[in-house]
C-alpha cells in the first residue's frame, strides 16, 4: 500500500517561543566564542573556530531550504523572526545561528579529539551523545511548533525522527574529520577556505545519507519500505562514523 504525500502545514510562528529559542541560541553561541577568546584556543589555533562558525552559518543559507523540501520539514511561513525566504521555506534567524554553534562547534570538538587521538569507542560515544543533543533540540522545536517534520516519516515515534539526528550528527563529524585533514595545511589567509568547507561537507553528507529517506518520502512508498529507507539512512551514517573512528584510532596509535 502506497502512502500519499502530505502537504506542508501552514500556520503562524508561535510567540514568545521563537524569541526565547533565538535568545537561547545566541547565548550558547556567545558563550562558546567567549571561551575561545579568553582561553588558550585563540592563541594556539587562531581564528579556526569563528571561521568554522561563519562557514557553517553560510552553509545554512545555501542548504537548509533545499533539504527542508526533500525531507519534508516546515517552518511557519509567517514569522517575525524570518531571516530569509527561499525554495518556499521561511528560514528564521535561529537556524543559521544554530548551525554555527551546533554543527560548527561539534565539528571543532571532533577535530580536536581526532587531533589528540581517540579510541574507536570514544568516537562512537561522542557520536551518540551528539545525535541525542540534536534529537532533543529538534524535538523541542517540534513540541513548541517552531518547526517540524511532516509526512510519513520513519522512526518518528516521540519527538523528531531518529534518522535525522543521525544525519545531523554525522554532518558535524564529517566536517571535523575534514578539518583534521585540511587545517594543518592551511595557514594565514588560506584559512579563509574554512568559510566554504562546511557547505561542501554538510551538503555532501546530507545528500548521500538522506537519499533513501528522501526517495521514500517523495515517492509515496509504503510504510514498511519507508522505514527500511530510514534504517538504510542510519546505516550509511554509521558507516561514515566507523571510518572516522578508525581515522582517530590511527592518529592515537601514531602519537602514542
pLDDT digit of tens for each residue in the chain (256 aa)? 455 556 666 666 778 888 999 999 999 999 999 999 998 989 999 999 999 999 999 999 999 999 999 999 999 888 888 899 988 889 999 999 999 999 999 999 999 999 988 999 999 999 999 999 999 999 999 999 999 999 999 999 889 999 999 999 999 999 999 999 999 999 889 999 999 999 999 999 999 999 999 999 999 899 999 999 999 999 999 999 999 999 999 888 888 7
pTM: 0.91
As given in the structure block, the three cell numbers for residue 194 are: 574554512
Domain membership flag for residue 217: yes
Domain membership flag for residue 6: no
Check residue 8 and give its pLDDT: 64
Nearest-angstrom CA–CA distance, 30 and 47: 15
Domain membership flag for residue 239: yes
Containing H/E element for 84?
strand 82-86
User: How confident is the model over 176-193, as pLDDT tens digits?
Assistant: 999 999 999 998 899 999
Taking the CA of residue 191 as centre, how many other CA atoms within 13 Å lie in the half-sphere pointing to its CB? Answer: 14
Domain membership flag for residue 7: no
Check residue 212 and give its pLDDT: 97
Domain membership flag for residue 12: no
Count structural domains, the chain: 1
Residue 237, domain extent:
17-255
Check residue 4 and give its pLDDT: 57
Task: Encode 74-90: b = buried (16+ Cβ within 10 Å), e = exposed.
Answer: bbbbebebbbeeeeebb
Check residue 18 and give its pLDDT: 87
Domain membership flag for residue 205: yes
Check residue 255 and give its pLDDT: 83
Domain membership flag for residue 5: no
Amino acid at each position: 500500500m502506497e502512502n500519499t504525500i502530505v502537504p506542508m502545514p501552514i500556520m503562524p510562528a508561535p510567540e514568545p517561543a521563537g524569541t526565547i529559542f533565538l535568545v537561547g541560541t545566541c547565548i550558547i553561541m556567545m558563550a562558546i566564542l567567549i571561551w575561545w577568546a579568553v582561553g588558550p584556543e585563540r592563541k594556539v589555533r587562531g581564528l579556526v573556530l569563528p571561521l568554522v562558525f561563519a562557514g557553517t552559518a553560510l552553509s545554512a543559507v545555501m542548504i537548509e531550504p533545499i533539504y527542508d523540501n526533500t525531507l519534508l520539514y516546515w517552518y511557519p511561513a509567517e514569522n517575525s523572526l524570518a531571516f530569509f525566504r527561499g525554495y518556499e521555506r521561511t528560514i528564521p534567524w535561529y537556524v543559521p545561528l544554530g548551525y554555527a554553534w551546533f554543527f560548527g562547534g561539534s565539528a571543532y570538538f571532533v577535530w580536536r579529539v581526532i587531533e589528540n587521538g581517540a579510541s574507536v569507542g570514544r568516537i562512537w560515544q561522542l557520536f551518540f551523545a551528539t545525535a541525542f543533543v540534536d534529537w532533543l533540540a529538534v524535538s523541542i522545536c517540534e513540541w513548541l511548533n517552531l518547526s517540524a517534520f511532516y509526512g510519513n516519516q520513519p522512526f518518528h515515534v516521540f519527538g523528531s525522527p531518529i534518522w535525522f539526528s543521525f544525519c545531523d550528527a554525522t554532518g558535524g563529524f564529517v566536517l571535523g574529520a575534514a578539518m583534521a585533514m585540511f587545517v594543518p595545511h592551511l595557514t594565514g589567509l588560506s584559512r579563509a577556505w574554512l568559510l566554504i568547507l562546511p557547505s561542501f561537507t554538510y551538503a555532501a553528507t546530507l545528500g548521500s545519507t538522506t537519499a533513501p529517506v528522501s526517495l521514500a518520502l517523495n515517492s509515496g512508498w509504503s510504510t514498511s519500505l519507508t522505514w527500511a529507507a530510514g534504517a538504510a539512512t542510519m546505516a550509511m551514517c554509521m558507516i561514515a562514523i566507523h571510518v572516522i573512528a578508525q581515522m582517530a584510532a590511527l592518529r592515537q596509535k601514531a602519537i602514542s
